[in-house]
Chain A
Amino acid sequence: MSIIHTHNITKTYNPDTVPVHAINGVTLSFNEGGFSAIIGPSGCGKTTLLNMIGGLERPTTGTVEVNGETINTKSKRALTEFRLKNIGFIFQAYNLIPVMSAFENTAFIMELLGWPRDKIKSRVMELLEAMDIADKAHQRPNQLSGGQQQRVAVARALSTRPKFILADEPTANLDSHATGNLLDMMLKMNEREKTTFIFSTHDDRVMRRARRLIKLDDGKVVDDARS
């Protein structure tokens, strides 16, 4: 069943001065439980596409539907709440709050949603154990390696069991060992919790693990392969 549907979306930056056509008519559907990668050369529009799916940017034309709901017409405030309740985000860097421990960072969204304390605690520990960093729960981000930090970000993104997780080049700053490791974790959670993952990457090793590869070039889908 499709949970995300983009209908002929375009994105033009600076339409009045020097227009940049970042996305030029993309129509895509994502099914529940998928593990899809958006690939393509630098500047092809991967980040722009993910941002529009995640309600961080509005398409210039076209619509984005999540669970049958059109999100691109929502107000800024409604979008913020929508993101909080429906989407998990993992960014390339600056994912974590430096003054908070791995535990607190993982708990952040559950706290915002007002989950009861004991429920938060057990969920955080469950996730940190699954991510193999339970022993680092009380360390702050600067005491963790890059790979460990990204695993905390994955744990936080998964914490409230969102409809899907968007990850923009989550492994770009990691070495090959940490990359493989993070991918293992993401795949494990994709299987265990049936969470839908959509991520972008340039990394061949990451592409090989995806079950669907969407190739962008110049803001257009040039290949969409499922395995």
Chain B
Amino acid sequence: MIVAYAWRNVWRNSTRSLAVILALATGLLGALFIAALANGMMDKWVKTAIDNEISDLQMHHPEYLITQELTSTMDQDRIAQYLKADSNIASYSFRVKVDGMAATANNSVQVTGLGVDPTTESEVTNIHHLVEEGSYFEDQSNFKSMVISRKMADKLKAGLKSKIILTLADAQGEIAYENFKVTGLFATNNTMFDESTIFVEKDQLARILKLEPGQVHEAAARVVDPDLLEVTVAGLNSSLGDVETESWKELNPTLKVTASTMDLYNYILVGVVLLALIFGIVNTMLMAILERTKEIGMLTALGLSRLKIAQMIIAETVFLCLVGSTIGNLLSFLAIGYFGRRGIHFEEFAEGFESFGLSAEVFPSIDTEMYFTITIMVVITAIFSSIFPIVRAFKLEPAEAIRD
């Protein structure tokens, strides 16, 4: 009965209640949509980084991670055996990696040269899909092929079929160089990656570096089930003691930390919105109590206990806020669902986004869990907001309230 009474009280001054309800609904819609956008950007960022550069996991000689010494290599056949045996490994590829200088007649640029096996590499990263001009090592001429980004081509003032000289220090520390011909131009949406990475064929690079046959610097692999990634990494680390296997989270800690603090930031955002709304809620409830001085005094005279009065005010505040948050959640669900399917294009800001490795097209998304957590946060906010009105109601003396 107290509950029914409280519910009806919410609608006694419906204009005033609606103001609070709308404030809550729009506040939550705004906060949730921003949270979903942030999530969408984050997901995209992580996914792009995994797809284009890192892949799910990588393996290195432990020394290589620290010194990047060219001689810190691994035996590719031995590692392949283990990867083949692991049922959660979908695909893998081996790489030879070196820092060097790419030069044309016009310009020279510091680069990271990745020697890849085009066939297996295509199963691990999707650079081959991002080739816009030429091809991804399909050119069967006598030249040694090099695939570079459009941005790199601009820096080198080179184009398709341009000649590029790659100069580097080989495994014995001797200066070596080789001529390549640009056979493919790609573009990811990560400027930093594009401006530093070039691709050549693994066996050719290994030969220039004078590596022992079958020796590689890096293995990259994709998993079947991302949820089991950590298990797979742990398994490989225990069976291959002399090789360090790391997931993308370890390989790019910034990515991991940012992705996991995102939720926290989102909750803080919602918390701030609720905090700002507390004043409105308290004010509305105080007005509601003041308006009902006689009624509450009369009920106290009849014998309504303080506990029941507190219950009534809490129920009324919680109802008021829940109506608002339910509308807010519903609108957010619809808006996030709609834009989550359709995507939002940030054409105007695209350039800025891409220099951070972010995509200009964002698909907002949110964990369903967040709606529930927010509902609980709203209930707590409502209970907190009822304290002041309850104190006010307790101060009413029934004898004074009913005398007029």
Most buried by B among A85, A89, A156: A89
Contact bitstring A98-110, B, C-beta under 8 A = 1, else 0 = 1110001001110
Would you give the shortest CB distance from B313 to chain A, in whole angstroms?
A: 15
Q: Is the interface of B mostly helix, strand, loop or mixed?
A: helix
Among listed B171-179, B229-237, B367-375, B395-403, interface-contacting one? B395-403
B303 touches A93 (CB 8 A): no
Contact of A83 among B1, B5, B294, B301 (CB under 8 A): B301
A83 touches B399 (CB 8 A): no
**Complex CA distance for A89 and B301, rounded to whole angstroms:** 8
B301 touches A56 (CB 8 A): yes
B-facing residues in A177-214 (Cβ within 8 Å):
none
Most buried by A among B4, B294, B399: B399
Q: How many residues of B contact A (CB 8 A)?
A: 23
B295 touches A80 (CB 8 A): no
A-facing residues in B258-316 (Cβ within 8 Å):
294-295, 298-306, 308
In the bound complex, residues from chain B placing their C-beta under 8 Å from that of A104 are 1, 4
| Those 7 A-B pairs whose CB atoms lie nearest each other, nearest first | A84-B303, A99-B8, A83-B303, A111-B1, A56-B399, A94-B294, A57-B399
Number of A-B contacts (CB under 8 A): 61
A95, CB-defined interface residue at 8 Å: yes
A81, CB-defined interface residue at 8 Å: yes
Q: What are 24 A-B residue pairs whose CB atoms fall within 8 Å in the complex? A: A47-B403, A56-B399, A80-B304, A81-B303, A84-B302, A84-B304, A87-B303, A89-B301, A91-B402, A93-B404, A94-B295, A94-B298, A95-B298, A97-B5, A98-B12, A98-B295, A99-B5, A99-B9, A99-B12, A100-B8, A104-B1, A104-B4, A108-B302, A109-B303
**Complex CA distance for A47 and B404, rounded to whole angstroms:** 11
**Complex CA distance for A100 and B9, rounded to whole angstroms:** 10
What 12 new A-B contacts, CB under 8 Å, besides A54-B301, A77-B306?
A51-B399, A56-B301, A80-B300, A83-B303, A84-B302, A84-B305, A91-B402, A93-B404, A99-B8, A112-B303, A112-B304, A156-B302
Would you give the shortest CB distance from B404 to chain A, in whole angstroms?
A: 7
Would you give the shortest CB distance from B306 to chain A, in whole angstroms?
A: 7
**Complex CA distance for A108 and B300, rounded to whole angstroms:** 12
In the bound complex, residues from chain B placing their C-beta under 8 Å from that of A77 are 305-306
In the bound complex, residues from chain B placing their C-beta under 8 Å from that of A156 are 302
A109 touches B302 (CB 8 A): yes
A94 touches B402 (CB 8 A): yes
Name the CB-closest residue of B to A58: B399
**Complex CA distance for A84 and B306, rounded to whole angstroms:** 13
Would you give the shortest CB distance from B88 to chain A, in whole angstroms?
A: 60
Most buried by B among A80, A84, A89: A80
Most buried by A among B9, B303, B306: B303
In the bound complex, residues from chain B placing their C-beta under 8 Å from that of A82 are 303
Would you give the shortest CB distance from A119 to chain B, in whole angstroms?
A: 15
Would you give the shortest CB distance from A157 to chain B, in whole angstroms?
A: 9
**Complex CA distance for A91 and B398, rounded to whole angstroms:** 12
B-facing residues in A1-60 (Cβ within 8 Å):
47, 51, 54, 56-57
B299 touches A97 (CB 8 A): yes
B-facing residues in A147-201 (Cβ within 8 Å):
156
B306 touches A83 (CB 8 A): no
Given that A57-B399, A83-B302 are contacting pairs, would A100 and B308 also be in contact in the complex, using a CB cutoff of 8 Å?
no
Name the CB-closest residue of A to B394: A76
Would you give the shortest CB distance from B337 to chain A, in whole angstroms?
A: 37
Given that A84-B302, A89-B302 are contacting pairs, would A108 and B1 also be in contact in the complex, using a CB cutoff of 8 Å?
yes
A-facing residues in B1-29 (Cβ within 8 Å):
1, 4-5, 8-9, 12
In the bound complex, residues from chain A placing their C-beta under 8 Å from that of B294 are 94
**Complex CA distance for A107 and B4, rounded to whole angstroms:** 13
Most buried by A among B1, B4, B300: B1
